[in-house]
């Protein structure tokens, strides 16, 4: 087996890039978007076997510089710093493996090597060796699904520690109309949801779905204002530039639900579409009207759901923050994990952290309904009860 290193996805042999993608975050358009992000330094490890058979391991070196694509990616380091009484900067620069910029990492480009432990071992060893030589202080697979974690534990022969992150919310779209969705809600929730759905029109606003590019300059200030309210970077010019690059890279796959009034835009939701899936990626809204006009819940949830129904899409992904508000409106949650390959984390520390996250996950399900999937339950069991020292 030979292993080649590439700085650009476009330079990788075409036959190697032909892997089937599972999410928009591992699509060719997204990978090319992310490799142009100044905060990230990409390097693709490409394994070639006879056949020819290829596998790709995308990696991204990150020094901690903020961008919309790396927001919340420092959360595992903050958690580790708190647990180990260290400084989050001690883990930077870091190397991320797999797809980044979103909240779902499934490692689809490695699938061709899943049955070949020797080849996987050689590929991951080469990646880790290169990372150490470059002086990175931590290596991880961020926002992994439980299915990807199970694959990593069973088939990637490298020591690793799992830390549960915030769960991701999703909704399976099974209705032919928004009213059908409302009818399926518990009776005690229907009245409040109907009130929220109608609040936009009651305020005299007009929601539409638009192409992203023409609206960037009008929505960037709303996103910047939301960032400011949460103590996050809020420079309008930088945010607008990143939104323009999303529009340019994804084209028709990036759209925006807009709530407009005679005074201007009062709310928006950035939607990314791939196959049968819709991703609610970023939102912004005028805070003064959020309660009376329910702009937040409409741009985040109801308007994307109505769009998905009209487009006959099957699932909406709502991201990793604010799970309670999404669960109250019928969404489900699934676990996400940071798979830490370096540095070694004390087993008892990881176990205690994952026990806490499991209790939070169970509490969400108990309070708002739903189930913990078999895949999530299996990985939680492995990390809480059976995780072995590195």
In DSSP notation, 189-247 reads HHHHHHHHHHHHHHTT-EEEEEESGGGHHHHHHHHHHHHHHTTS---HHHHHHHHHHHH
Q: What is the pLDDT at residue 388?
A: 41
Kind of pairing between the strands at 332-334 and 168-172: antiparallel
pLDDT value at 385 more than 70: no
**Averaged pLDDT of the chain:** 92
Q: What is the largest CA-CA distance in the chain?
A: 64
pTM here is 0.94
pLDDT band at 156 (very low <50, low <70, confident <90, very high): confident
Contact 329, 193 (CB under 8 A): yes
Q: Which CATH number fits domain 2-167+335-384: 3.40.630, 2.40.128, 3.90.1690, 1.10.260?
A: 3.40.630
Q: What value does the mean pLDDT take over residues 46-50?
A: 86
The closest alpha carbon to 57, from 166, 139, 136, 133, belongs to 139
Q: Which CATH number fits domain 170-333: 3.90.1010.10, 3.30.930.10, 2.70.98.60, 3.40.630.30?
A: 3.40.630.30
19 or 333: which leads in pLDDT: 333
pLDDT value at 113 more than 90: no
Q: What is the pLDDT at residue 386?
A: 45
Stated as kind and residue range, the H or E segment containing 150 is helix 146-155
The secondary structure of 20-67 as a DSSP string is: PPSSGGGSHHHHHHHHT-TTEEEEEEEEEETTTEEEEEEEEEE-S---
pLDDT value at 183 more than 80: yes
Within the chain, all domains assigned CATH 3.40.630.30 are found at: 170-333
């Amino acid at each position: 087996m030979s292993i080649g290193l590439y700085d650009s996805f476009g330079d990788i042999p075409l036959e190697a890039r032909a892997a089937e993608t599972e999410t928009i975050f591992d699509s060719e358009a997204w990978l090319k978007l992310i490799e142009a992000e100044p905060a990230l330094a990409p390097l693709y490890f490409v394994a070639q076997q006879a056949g020819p058979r290829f596998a790709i391991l995308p990696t991204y070196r990150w020094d901690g510089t903020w961008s919309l694509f790396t927001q919340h990616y420092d959360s595992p380091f903050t958690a580790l710093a708190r647990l180990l009484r260290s400084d989050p900067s001690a883990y930077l620069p870091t190397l991320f493996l797999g797809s980044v910029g979103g909240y779902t990492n499934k490692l689809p480009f490695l699938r061709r090597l899943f049955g070949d432990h020797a080849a996987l071992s050689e590929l991951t060893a080469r990646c880790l060796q290169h990372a150490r030589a470059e002086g990175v202080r931590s290596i991880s697979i961020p926002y992994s699904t439980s299915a990807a974690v199970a694959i990593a534990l069973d088939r990637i022969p490298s020591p690793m520690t799992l830390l549960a992150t915030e769960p991701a919310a999703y909704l399976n779209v099974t209705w032919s109309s928004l009213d059908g969705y409302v009818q399926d809600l518990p009776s005690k929730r229907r009245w409040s949801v109907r009130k929220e759905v109608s609040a936009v029109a009651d305020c005299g606003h007009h929601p539409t779905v638009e192409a992203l590019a023409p609206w960037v300059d009008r929505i960037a200030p709303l996103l910047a204002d939301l960032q400011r309210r949460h103590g996050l970077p809020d420079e309008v010019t930088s945010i607008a530039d990143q939104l323009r690059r999303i529009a340019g890279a994804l084209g028709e796959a990036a759209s925006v639900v807009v709530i407009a009034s005679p005074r201007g835009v009062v709310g928006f939701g950035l939607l990314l579409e791939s196959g049968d899936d819709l991703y609610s990626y970023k939102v912004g809204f005028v805070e003064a009207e959020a309660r009376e006009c329910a702009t937040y819940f409409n741009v985040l949830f109801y308007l994307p759901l109505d769009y998905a129904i009209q487009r006959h899409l099957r699932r909406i992904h709502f991201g990793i923050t604010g799970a309670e508000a999404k669960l109250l409106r019928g969404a489900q949650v699934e676990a996400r994990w940071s798979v830490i390959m370096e540095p070694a984390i004390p087993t008892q520390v990881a176990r205690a952290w994952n026990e806490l996250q499991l209790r939070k996950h169970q509490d969400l399900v108990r309070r708002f309904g739903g189930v913990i999937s078999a895949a999530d339950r299996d990985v939680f069991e492995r990390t809480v009860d059976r995780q072995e020292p590195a």
